[in-house]
Amino acid sequence: MKTLTISDIEQLKQEGKKFSCITAYDATFAGVISDAGVDVILVGDSLGNVIQGQKTTVPVTIEDMEYHIACVARGNKRCLLIGDMPYMSYATPEQAYHTAALIMQAGAHMVKLEGGDWLHDTIAGLTERGIPVCAHLGLTPQSVDALGGFKVQGRDSKQAKQMLADAKALEEAGARMLVLECVPQGLAKQIAQSINIPVMGIGAGVDVDGQVLVLHDMLGISPFQAKFVRNFMADAKGDIKAAFELYHNEVRAKKFPAAEHSFD
């Protein structure tokens, strides 16, 4: 079975087709997600919240990420596999190179980091060294203390203008994908149409190129359900693989997220 690459995801954007992503943290779920036809798996530092019981992603270490990426890589059969670079593991370009090497050696196909145009030189350096980069704007969970909590980002004109400028700068630096989290759907659409790289949304409306949900959220087993989450497990009557298939199909058909899962 052919493993999807970032080039395949870029091709989907060029063809106007949506792609799906679910987080995973172990081999078993990675295998089921792969079998369900989902395009991308993200081994997120969200494991701090849903696996470790942490209040934020800040306590997650590079050793944690290496372990869970390796587990997921063993179970993955076809998905593009993205691994998060944890808190303060890419504060300098040199530190980022070391962290990215560990994440790629653990089994990821791409690394993800959070931040705006201050990451330009870091992303350029990673790209020069053959490491595909996914950037992340909007609500950046590693900066939740600085943001004052889990809040929608980009609602005022100054923030929106800066986010659009950051997106363009990150693409120019060499980023191959961008995640937008908790961003008004109109702004997310503008960003997705303004850059050539695939834009994956979580709480960013239906007009971006792909969608990502945290595994535990979309199965309805997280203690808190955010506005942008839909319980696909309930819709699939308790069948986990069917829930993944439904999610993938609803994303491809542009039926998810609906208006009630989006921010104005």
Residues 6+ apart with CB under 8 A from 2: 78
pLDDT at 122: 98
Residue corresponding to tokens 């980009």: 154
pLDDT at 75: 98
pLDDT at 206: 98
State yes or no: 84 annotated in a binding site: yes
pLDDT at 69: 99
pLDDT at 196: 98
pLDDT at 150: 83
pLDDT at 145: 85
Q: What domains can you pick out in the chain, each with its CATH number? A: 6-261 (3.20.20.60)
User: Is residue 73 a contact partner of residue 66, using CB atoms and an 8 Å limit?
Assistant: no
pLDDT at 121: 98
User: Is residue 9 a contact partner of residue 19, using CB atoms and an 8 Å limit?
Assistant: yes
pLDDT at 53: 97
From the candidates 66, 171, 181, 245, give the one annotated as an active-site residue.
181
Residues 6+ apart with CB under 8 A from 50: 25, 214, 215, 216, 222
State yes or no: 260 annotated in a binding site: no
Q: Average pLDDT by consecutive 10-residue portion of the chain (264 residues)?
A: 95 98 98 98 98 96 98 98 98 98 98 97 98 97 86 94 98 98 97 98 98 98 92 97 98 97 94
State yes or no: 89 annotated in a binding site: no
pLDDT at 97: 98
H/E segment holding residue 234: helix 232-235
User: Is 181 a known active-site residue?
Assistant: yes
Alpha helices in 90-207 (DSSP H): 93-106, 120-128, 144-147, 157-173, 185-194
pLDDT at 57: 96
